[in-house]
Amino acid sequence: MIRAARPTDEQAIHDIWLLASLQAHDFIPAAFWWQQQEALRARYLPEAEIWLWDQAGDIQGFVALLDDYVAALFVRPDCQQQGIGRQLLNNVKNKRRQLLMRVYCENDIAMNFYLSQGFTVVKEEIDTASGQPILFLRYLPANSH
């Protein structure tokens, strides 16, 4: 079930973010993700609107929005390929007129997923934090074109 995050969910959200980031971004040194943890806790979690996939008290994934920007969409590695990410994304598609996000070019699985969900590539540049190429994506509902 999808529900809004509560302050008591912070550790579960953090754990999913770290595990999934390490797995999805194996082209970036693991130390980078360990260094990003404080920014996650200090900046993203407090400011974001976060929705969780909660299966009977077991948090398996989350999506975090900063206005129209999808700051994070992660599913715990052992729960992937079950439609959780798609359902979380559909939940926030219904809450916004558009969605924007960034994805690392080398993250083929994520790129294919977002393109299959109606996102289009807007531009490409280099991420200053990691030095990796990233794509900016945008989603517009069919009725807003």
Question: Would you state the pLDDT for residue 19?
Answer: 82
Residue 76, domain CATH? 3.40.630.30
Can you tell me the distance from the alpha carbon of 145 to that of 12, in angstroms, rounded to the nearest whole number?
37
pLDDT tens sequence for the chain (145 residues):
999 999 899 889 888 888 887 777 777 777 777 677 777 677 677 788 999 999 999 999 999 999 999 988 999 999 989 999 999 999 999 899 999 999 999 898 899 999 999 999 999 999 888 889 999 999 998 765 5
Q: Rounded to 5 degrees, what angle do the CA atoms 70, 61, 76 make?
A: 115
Report the side by side order of strands in the sheet with 49-55: 2-4, 49-55, 58-66, 69-75, 99-104, 133-139, 120-126
Predicted TM-score (pTM) of this structure: 0.86
Q: Which of 114, 94, 70, 81 is nearest to 2 (CA)?
A: 94
Tell me if 70 sits within 8 A of 100, measured CB to CB. Answer: yes
Three-state DSSP at 81 gives coil
Both tokens of 106, joined, read 């080398």
Q: Which domain holds residue 71?
A: 2-144
Backbone angles phi, psi at 26, to 5 degrees: -70, -5
Domain count, the chain: 1
